[in-house]
């Protein structure tokens, strides 16, 4: 739908606010939506270094991302900010790029994975809003080429469980092409499972080469390895299921090799700290029946290797 698109928010699913329609300027395409009951990181001050406890928000969470043509990140945040103010929200914190904390902010913030949501480290804007009743809305917008991306995070207080009642189900509900673990910062992923998905990377079907541009997730991995000089990482490539297993193992290993070469050439990571492997289509994280699922499966993961 061109020019303006009405977007129906999910607040009524979780919290006391009624359902409402948001309006975004431009040509708008929803790229992802995920809901969960748990914790997200929504900064209330510029982030530099460790994440303060007050940035951690718990409750019923809905995250939605859109890709927009014809509107800037500033125009998108302004449009949403005005509409939420009319619903009783007040701005708690707002910032742009370096004033937010730059690199530290981006890789602490809970962001939906590429390609659904893109954040340019040199051009993004953030607005945090709240109501007196404890509802929270966080808006993150950025530029990606000729288009803009915007993510809305909605956090509502969980209903109290009556004495003797049934505990709240903490299972994560997903929709579209969202992989919540890949949205977590690298440090959190390494701590939680010893591996991290490098979701900023995009590979076309049958292609192994990386584009000649900066990838924020590689900068994050290089920074993490610089801060942990004894760490060694195995880069494991994965593919969709287009083709034979043998061919895809070769292809996925070549993708991992491309990542290793970029880490060495651009970020100075010593080659002996990196190893590469290929898994082909043996470990999908989404069905290969859709274009979105295949895009998720074409990936490289960083796995912590035993320290010699």
Q: Quote the pLDDT of residue 79.
A: 94
Nearest to 177 by CA among 3, 6, 4, 32: 32
- Asked if 34 and 75 touch (Cβ cutoff 8 Å), the reply is no
Mean pLDDT lowest for which of 97-111, 149-163, 272-286? 149-163
Rounded (10°) CA dihedral 58, 62, 63, 64? -160
Secondary-structure breakdown of the chain: helix, strand, coil percentages, each rounded to the nearest 5: 30, 30, 40
138: Cβ contacts below 8 Å, ≥ 6 apart: 42, 126, 127, 128, 129, 152, 153, 155
- Asked if 94 and 128 touch (Cβ cutoff 8 Å), the reply is yes
Question: Where would I find the H helices in 156-244?
Answer: 180-183, 186-193, 216-227
Cα gap 104→153, rounded to integer Å: 19
Confidence of residue 51 (pLDDT cuts 50, 70, 90): confident
Q: Is the pLDDT at 308 greater than 90, yes or no? A: no
Mean pLDDT of 129-158: 91
Q: Quote the pLDDT of residue 291.
A: 82
Decide: helix, strand or coil at residue 283. coil
Q: Domain spans of the chain? A: 4-175, 185-305
- Rounded to the nearest angstrom, the gap between the alpha carbon of residue 181 and the centroid of all alpha carbons in its chain is 9
Q: Quote the pLDDT of residue 14.
A: 37
Report the relative pairing of strands 232-238 and 274-278 from DSSP bridges.
Answer: parallel
- Rounded to the nearest angstrom, the gap between the alpha carbon of residue 203 and the centroid of all alpha carbons in its chain is 17
Q: Is the pLDDT at 266 greater than 60, yes or no? A: yes
- Over residues 58-86, the pLDDT tens digits come to 888 888 899 999 999 999 999 999 999 98
- Over residues 96-112, the pLDDT tens digits come to 988 998 877 877 788 88
Nearest to 285 by CA among 180, 186, 161: 180
Rounded (10°) CA dihedral 192, 289, 218, 246? 100
Mean pLDDT of 7-12: 40
Q: Is the dihedral of CA 240, 61, 189, 209 positive or negative?
A: positive
- Residue located via tokens 């949501």: 117
278: left (phi over 0), alpha (psi -120 to 50) or beta: beta
- Over residues 224-257, the pLDDT tens digits come to 999 889 999 999 998 888 888 888 888 888 889 8
The domain defined by 185-305 folds into 60s Ribosomal Protein L30; Chain: A; (3.30.1330)
- The alpha carbons of the chain give a radius of gyration, in whole angstroms, of 20
Q: Quote the pLDDT of residue 163.
A: 42
Nearest to 67 by CA among 21, 106, 119, 109: 119
User: What percentage of the chain has pLDDT greater than the value 70?
Assistant: 81
198: Cβ contacts below 8 Å, ≥ 6 apart: 215, 217, 218, 221, 259, 299, 300, 301, 302
Cα gap 15→181, rounded to integer Å: 24
Decide: helix, strand or coil at residue 134. coil
Running DSSP on this structure, what letter comes out for residue 296? H
Q: Is the pLDDT at 92 greater than 50, yes or no? A: yes
- Over residues 166-223, the pLDDT tens digits come to 333 333 333 333 343 444 478 788 887 788 888 778 765 667 777 777 888 898 899 8
49 or 105, higher pLDDT: 105
């Amino acid at each position: 739908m061109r020019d303006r698109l009405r977007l129906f928010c999910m607040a009524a699913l979780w919290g006391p606010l009624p359902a409402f329609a948001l309006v975004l300027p431009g040509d708008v395409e929803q790229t992802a939506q995920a809901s969960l009951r748990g914790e997200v990181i929504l900064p209330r001050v510029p982030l530099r270094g460790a994440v303060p406890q007050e940035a951690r928000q718990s409750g019923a969470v809905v995250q939605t991302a859109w890709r927009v043509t014809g509107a800037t990140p500033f125009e998108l945040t302004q449009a949403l900010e005005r509409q939420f103010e009319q619903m009783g929200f007040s701005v708690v914190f707002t910032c742009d790029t370096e004033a937010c904390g730059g690199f530290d902010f981006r890789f602490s913030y809970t962001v939906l994975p590429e390609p659904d949501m893109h954040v340019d480290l040199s051009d993004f804007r953030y607005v945090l809003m709240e109501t007196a009743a404890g509802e929270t809305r966080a808006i993150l917008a950025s530029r990606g080429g000729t288009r803009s991306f915007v993510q809305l995070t909605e956090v509502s207080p969980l209903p109290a469980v009556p004495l003797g009642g049934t505990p709240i189900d903490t299972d994560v509900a997903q929709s579209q092409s969202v992989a919540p673990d890949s949205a977590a910062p690298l440090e959190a992923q390494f701590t939680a499972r010893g591996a991290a998905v490098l979701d900023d990377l995009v590979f076309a079907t049958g292609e192994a080469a990386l584009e000649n541009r900066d990838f924020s997730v590689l900068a994050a991995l290089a920074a993490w390895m610089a801060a942990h000089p004894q760490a060694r990482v195995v880069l494991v490539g994965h593919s969709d299921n287009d083709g034979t297993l043998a061919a895809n193992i070769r292809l996925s290993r070549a993708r991992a090799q491309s990542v290793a070469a970029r880490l060495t050439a651009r970020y100075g990571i010593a080659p002996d700290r990196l190893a590469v492997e290929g898994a082909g289509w043996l470990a999908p994280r989404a069905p290969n029946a859709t274009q979105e699922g295949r895009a998720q499966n074409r990936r490289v993961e960083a796995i912590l290797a035993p320290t010699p």
